[in-house]
Amino acid sequence: MFSPRLLLLRSAASLTSRTFCVGGVSKEGRAPDMIEGNPLLHVSNVRNRLREIVGASTNWSDHQQAMAERVSLSSMLAKSQNDLPAKTMKDSYLEVHLPLGSEPQLREKYLTFHNTVRFGRILEDLDSLAVLISYSHTYNPELKRSPLSIVTALVDKIDMRHHVIYPDCDIKFTGHVTWVGNTSIEAKMHMSQFREGAYAPVLDATFVMVARDPENKRAAFVNPLNPQGAEEEKLLQEGEANKSRRMGMSRASLLKVAPTAEERKIVHSLFLNTLDTQTVSFRSRILPPNSVWMQDAKLKGLEICHPQERNIFNRIFGGFLMRKAYELGWANACSFGGCRPTLLAVDDILFQKPVEIGSLLLLSSQVCYTEGKNIQVRVHSEVFDPLTRQHNTTNVFHFTFVSDRDVPNIIPETYGESMLYLDGKRHFNQTVEH
């Protein structure tokens, strides 16, 4: 039985079509070859492999032509999911190597000023890997190019299991499909780092991908998933539970329904604690000790979306958006807490619409909830059209950070800020409960 948790027990034969040779080094921080004669896929080859699958090009003008030619692939799409063969979790299983220990020249891209690993770069790698895992699940050996356009719909959760990522030790990503709908795919990934002769877990990530037609305009069917054994059945059930949880969260969104009775009490308590006891007026508010008004805990940024940051479908790469949002959120948490924060979790990143090349991308980071040493940050991204003056939301990101000291309490003033506060509290509670 294929066991996604027992990464070293898989057969060498299952990797031959999806690996490239990377020599291992047995020094401290440098991983040896994991399986005799069975090297890992190098992280630098992931996006190259994706370009091959869809027929994209690294050259800008050729890339535009290739994308235009993909329209003809529409006839290859399945008319229903029943027309596609079922796949197993083993079919989509991949291992990807990020050799920070074995290849020192690679570290420059991942290194921070403080000699730590840029987590934004890790987000980019996870996003690319999730797409490649999904294409591995839908692989059809009879087709030269895949007619599917597979894109990230949601980052359901990223949980940190170890909060230090060493810049001079090899990293391994593993992952596979764990749940499939008619047109959507859940991919779970794990990241580990080679220390003291063995790989130790660093994070677990769950991404939800969607399949669309070659023009990325309408949904397309994907292969059903056939679990093998009790462990895979459990993973499939967890995928169903994740879907139900997301639907429940959507129905209970504060943008759709009123806060619960308990949450309304929290908002009213915040209001009472900020009343001026001298005037006792609804319009007179006083900031409590060791507190910060929510409006004073913002940080904003602007990105011009150049072709260099495009994905294989001629839109801005989702990993790039995640990296920029994370870096802005981290900077905001750092400024708010007065020291360098540590990431606890990434939660519920929703991709509402693609970002076109040439867009003006506006990023707005807001500390929306604090508790003890914890800082919950929400980053909102939108594209701005300078000609029409229209703003359109593209993404919402949620990050949970922890400081090495207690941080000020964040205090909302308006009803809108109170809703941000409650939404941040919900996301923080999910992180703690998980």
Whether 177 shows a pLDDT value over 60: the answer reads: yes
Whether 9 shows a pLDDT value over 50: the answer reads: no
For the chain, count helices (H), then strands (E): 8, 13
Nearest to 329 by CA among 395, 402, 382, 378: 378
Same fold: 7-250 with 259-433: yes
Domain 259-433 falls in which CATH fold?
Thiol Ester Dehydrase; Chain A (3.10.129)
Q: How many residues make up the chain in this entry?
A: 434
Share of the chain above pLDDT 90, in %: 65
Whether 93 shows a pLDDT value over 90: the answer reads: yes
Whether 25 shows a pLDDT value over 60: the answer reads: no
Residue 28's pLDDT band (boundaries 50, 70, 90)? low
Whether 95 shows a pLDDT value over 90: the answer reads: yes
Q: Does domain 7-250 have CATH number 3.10.129.10?
A: yes
Enter the tokens of residue 387.
């000609």
Q: Which residues of 376-406 are buried (b: 16+ CB within 10 A; e: fewer)?
A: bbbbbbbbeeeeeeeeeebbbbbbbbbbeee
Q: Which pLDDT does position 348 carry in this prediction?
A: 81
What number is the average pLDDT over the span 118-139?
A: 95
Chain segment 325-371, per-residue pLDDT in tens:
999 999 999 999 999 999 999 988 888 888 988 889 999 999 999 99
Locate the DSSP E strands across 99-197.
149-160, 171-180, 184-195
CA distance 221 to 224: 9
Whether 431 shows a pLDDT value over 80: the answer reads: yes
Q: Which pLDDT does position 6 carry in this prediction?
A: 37
Residue 215's pLDDT band (boundaries 50, 70, 90)? confident
Lowest mean pLDDT among 49-63, 147-161, 210-224, 230-244: 49-63
Whether 65 shows a pLDDT value over 60: the answer reads: yes
Chain segment 260-305, per-residue pLDDT in tens:
999 999 999 999 999 887 777 777 789 999 999 999 999 999 999 8
Whether 83 shows a pLDDT value over 50: the answer reads: yes
Please provide the average confidence, as pLDDT, over all residues in the chain: 87
Residue 434's pLDDT band (boundaries 50, 70, 90)? low
Nearest to 410 by CA among 296, 291, 274, 295: 291
Q: Which pLDDT does position 19 carry in this prediction?
A: 35
Where exactly are the structural domains of the chain? 7-250, 259-433
Residue 24's pLDDT band (boundaries 50, 70, 90)? very low
DSSP-derived 3-state class of residue 113: coil
Q: Which pLDDT does position 357 carry in this prediction?
A: 85
Nearest to 324 by CA among 359, 294, 297: 359
Q: Which pLDDT does position 18 carry in this prediction?
A: 40
CA distance 407 to 375: 8
